[in-house]
A and B are shown apart, each in its own frame.
Chain A
Amino acid sequence: MPSILSKAISLLTGDDTKANYDWLKMPKKRVLKQLTDRELIRLEAEIGATLFGPLPRGHRREFFCLDATTWIWHEEWVDSSRKLQVATTRYEVQENGILKVQEGARYSYVEGQELQNLLLAMRMYYERVAREIYHTEPKPIA
């Protein structure tokens, strides 16, 4: 009787004595999800946009580090005649200083208040992306 019962149960529930559960185990060499540069920059740019306080209504702003020597300030807004205006400024760290490049082939080295603002923004950007995106403490800077 017990054998008939156990056979009936195994027919109903299945026989797990030879089951292979390896597929349920977490692989030891798991690779964490990797984000592309573009995805990381997009995340960073969201923080960069908040560094300068609240945006005026109808404005969209991005500020981000494109690569080791290039920072971008991009802003879009609708002017009084309801036309979309776009301004993109590229800051390039060069041997002689920080070059500002704007549309219309306008080039100038950054100085004065703009240089102070830019350096503070870069520093805040580094500190905030380190903590909020990469979850690490920023390195102290002399």
Chain B
Amino acid sequence: MPPTIGNHAPELPQDRIDSLFYEIADRNPDVAAAGQEVIKAFGSADEAEPGRTAIADAAIQDANRFGEEVPSAPNPPEILTPRELAALLGALVLSLREAAKNPNPNLEK
């Protein structure tokens, strides 16, 4: 099988894993659901590759610990669909590129 993104998960730094977890947990007052989302995002401990197992384990432990502290979110933010998220990220990268090409348009007038 040729290398594709399907068999290569991005390697995330630990602080980013933590922040992604809390982003997910913030949107889910139900801790069990948060844990499930984390497992869905990072893969289950049983099926995951060695590196990913550690991520899933850490996330589950965080879910248990974090569970006692999560207040119910009255208005959870809208969750983007995968397609919407991909479109948004592409647009954001393009906007960075455009801004770099025109550092300050007023200076060129």
Q: Which residues of A contact B (CB under 8 A)?
A: 29-32, 34-37, 40-41, 44, 51-53, 59, 61, 63, 65, 67-71, 73, 75, 77, 85, 87, 89, 91, 93-98, 113-127, 129-130, 133-134, 136, 138-139, 141-142
Contact = CB atoms under 8 A, between A and B. Distances in A.
Contact of A122 (B12, B16, B89, B94): B89
B73 interface: no
Contacts, number: 137
A44 B89 CA distance: 14
Interface stretch (B28-36, B63-71, B99-107): B99-107
A118 B5 CA distance: 6
Contacts of A119: 82, 85-86, 89
Nearest to B94: A68
B6 A114 contact: yes
Given A31-B108, A113-B6, A67 B90 contact: yes
Given A32-B103, A97-B83, 14 more contacts: A29-B108, A31-B107, A61-B3, A65-B90, A77-B3, A91-B86, A116-B9, A121-B10, A122-B85, A122-B89, A122-B90, A133-B96, A136-B96, A141-B85
Given A35-B100, A98-B82, A119-B86, A142 B77 contact: yes
